[in-house]
Homo-oligomer: A and B are copies of this chain.
Amino acid sequence: MTHTPLGPGNEFDHIRALLERWGPLAEGIGDDAAVLTPPAGQQLVVSTDATVEGVHFRREWMSARETGARGAMAALSDLAAMGATAHGVLVSLVVPDEWRALLPEFAAGIGETVRAASARIIGGNIANGAKFSATFTVLGFAASPVRRSGATPGDVLYVTGTLGGPVAALAAWERGALPEPRARQRFLHPQARLPEGQWLAAHGARAMIDISDGLAADARHLAAASGLVAALEVKNVPHFSFVTAETALISGEEYELLVALSEEGAESVAAAFVRRFSLPLTRVGLLQTVLAGGGQFPNSSVRVELPGGHDHFSR
């Protein structure tokens, strides 16, 4: 669909500059609202996520382009965690004066991510303000969205990918050092596991969450949502060689998927996943009934009450 013709004005000039950068990736911009036609029999899945300068990123860590790409990817990851497709993205920007010249590069980064996800930019908002922030609202579709709450006692927990990159990159920057290249790459260029999430949804995923707060914290979120407790086997956590398994447990902003599967058949599902995506899918624990006074857990497991992940309001 073509865009609605825009009138004159500075705000529209900014929007025109963004649209020029996005080209055919932006669709139907310029009306009061975006219109989309849900496919028959599908449910709409929608989520919103913000990236705030000085909180989620610092300018010296990454370019404007990387910031845009990463912010959009983090938002799309929530669709992956529902097993949904990515359809459309709305971009709401608060822009201080010193950021105006960076907007085209920031937009180019958003465009990279949206293209990779086979989605479109369908709307947004732009306002000035003292601190830069971008709020991404993402919309997709799923016949049967996978919630956090669908796990049952005895289900096993698997995680995609290899953990620990983001926490190592942040630790290096915080002490003024350059991160190990693979750590920097994992922090700056996370991948929303959209096809993987859809595949898992179609292959028996009972509950799913993306790892934004850290494996330990997100396993706790999934378990709490399902009315269960999670026991993680630390020695099994897939991690880069430059971090320990214990550190990988608390590495946030990974955007890998943690999925609960029925124990029966889980191994063959995981093997098929690895063949399909050439990405590890590793068993890291199981879910158990909450027992008064604490249950029995396998050796070398942790109750996920243990280490906390990233929490925006922890200090």
Chain A residues close to B by CB (< 8 Å): 4-11, 13-14, 30-38, 40, 43-50, 52, 54-56, 78-79, 81-82, 84, 88, 90, 92, 94, 122-131, 133, 135, 137-139, 142, 145, 147-149, 208-210, 217, 220-221, 223-225, 227, 305, 308, 311-314
Q: Given known contacts A33-B47, A45-B34, A52-B94, is B4 in contact with A149 (CB within 8 Å)? A: yes
Give how many copies assemble into the complex: 2
CA distance A238 to B255 in the complex (A): 53
Q: Is the CB of A10 within 8 A of B123?
A: no
- Given A33-B79, A48-B124, A92-B92, 5 more A-B residue pairs with CB atoms under 8 Å apart are A9-B311, A35-B147, A48-B90, A126-B313, A128-B312
Question: Across chains A and B, which 10 residue pairs bring their CB atoms closest together, nearest first?
Answer: A10-B313, A33-B47, A7-B224, A32-B81, A38-B38, A135-B135, A52-B129, A137-B137, A32-B78, A4-B225
Closest CB-CB distance, A121 to chain B, in whole Å?
12
**Centre residue among A210, A305, A312 by max chain B CB count within 10 A:** A312
